[in-house]
Amino acid sequence: MGGTVLNIVTILIGSALGLLIGNRISDKMQSSVMTGLGFVSLIVGIGNAQNTGNIIIPLLALVFGVILGELIGIDAALERFAGWLQVKTANIGGGHGDADERRRRFITGFITASLLFCVGPLTVVGSIQDGMGLAGGFQQLAIKSVLDGFAAMALASSLGIGVGFTAITVLVIQGGLALGGRFIGDFMTPAMINEMTAVGGLMIIGLSLILLDLKRPRVANFLPGLLLAPLMVVVAGALGINIYPL
């Protein structure tokens, strides 16, 4: 859990710095920063998506995953939680714009940053290995912590205090993965991790569309795909299906 604690601290520090400088830079500058983050997220997502050994696995995982996500209403639930947080913290952080605008920025910042910080390969692999007590896991989360700290600063300067509250999401997801790593880490094969990474990469591409203001997909509803991808690898192996072409 040490890596997760470090990650939370860097996100909080980065968010605080972003809030301090956010009111000191123009809207045009903030928009440009968001566009830059969108470019980087797009490249990271494409790189992660290429970890798949067979594109059919992430394709099926995303399709069936988003069906589950839509039925469950994950994105709507996150929005409700973010809206509740915004109401409870309305007097913290201030921000410009009317009440509706501040609420929209808070929710957008919380959901976008939560997904950006929690669907990458460093989150999954690093947290599981950290839970297993492997030094490599902490090192990966330390690298992720630095990256997330800078990303939090950039996002908070544009989207406000909602980004800082992603520390809650990181605690729940990374902490859960770290605890799970004590029990399931030994069963995760490289193929399972690669396919999970590929699905996460495709989700990051979806986030880049939001940051670039091109489209607003309900990325959170694709989250079940992260669980379905490794399960599909297991099922294929049990059925004797070779998912990786020679």
Largest CA distance in the chain: 60
Helices 99-118 and 166-184 pack at an angle, to 10 degrees, of: 20
pLDDT at residue 142 in the model: 86
Q: Where are the domains of the chain?
A: 2-236
pLDDT at residue 186 in the model: 66
Helices 121-131 and 166-184 pack at an angle, to 10 degrees, of: 50
Give the rounded distance of the alpha carbon of 40 from its chain centre: 14
How far is residue 187's CA from residue 181's CA, in Å, rounded to a whole number? 9
pLDDT at residue 202 in the model: 92
Helices 99-118 and 190-211 pack at an angle, to 10 degrees, of: 160
Does this model's pTM top 0.85? My answer is no
How far is residue 17's CA from residue 148's CA, in Å, rounded to a whole number? 13
pLDDT at residue 150 in the model: 86
How far is residue 195's CA from residue 232's CA, in Å, rounded to a whole number? 9
pLDDT at residue 58 in the model: 94
Q: List CB contacts of 72: < 8 A, sequence separation 6 or more.
A: 221, 224
pLDDT in tens, the chain (246 residues): 778 899 999 999 999 999 888 777 777 887 887 888 889 889 988 988 998 989 999 999 999 999 999 999 998 998 888 888 888 776 655 555 567 777 888 888 898 888 888 876 677 777 877 777 766 667 778 878 888 888 898 889 888 889 999 999 999 888 888 887 777 666 778 888 889 889 988 988 988 898 888 988 888 899 899 889 999 999 988 888 777 765
How far is residue 110's CA from residue 156's CA, in Å, rounded to a whole number? 10
How far is residue 137's CA from residue 127's CA, in Å, rounded to a whole number? 6
pLDDT at residue 98 in the model: 64
pLDDT at residue 55 in the model: 92
Q: Rg of the chain over CA atoms, in angstroms?
A: 18
Q: List CB contacts of 71: < 8 A, sequence separation 6 or more.
A: none
How far is residue 222's CA from residue 167's CA, in Å, rounded to a whole number? 21
